[in-house]
Amino acid sequence: MELRKIIASSLRQNILRVLAEKREMQIMKLVSSTTSTYNELNRNLAILKNEGIIVEDYRSKVRRDRVRVIWLDRANPKTVTLLKALKLLEHEDAVGCLEVKGLGGC
């Protein structure tokens, strides 16, 4: 999948932002952090996983319970490029916001 199609989804952008900040996260915490539903998040995680951008693992928590943990594959060049693109977009939004509001902020 092309990088611009990956970054076209606002949910995928949120997933990347949260994981870039937190390093790794349990799936249900990621659901609440992105204010999404489990099914919607899971569908977008599958896209990111197929592209090699994220990695997931099931870890034992207590007895037989297992927790799904997600993190970014920072060794993948696609991941590095997407994170740089997100930073540029955030910077562009902030600059555009300042220009529109006359340096007063959004």
User: What are the extents of the domains in the chain?
Assistant: 3-100
Q: What percent of the chain has pLDDT over 70?
A: 83
CATH annotation of 3-100: 1.10.10.10
CA distances from 51 to 21, 65, 86, 89, 94 (A): 20, 28, 17, 21, 29
Per-residue pLDDT of 49-59, as tens digits, reads: 999 999 999 98
Supply the pTM of this predicted model. 0.80
For residue 56, the cross-strand partners are 70
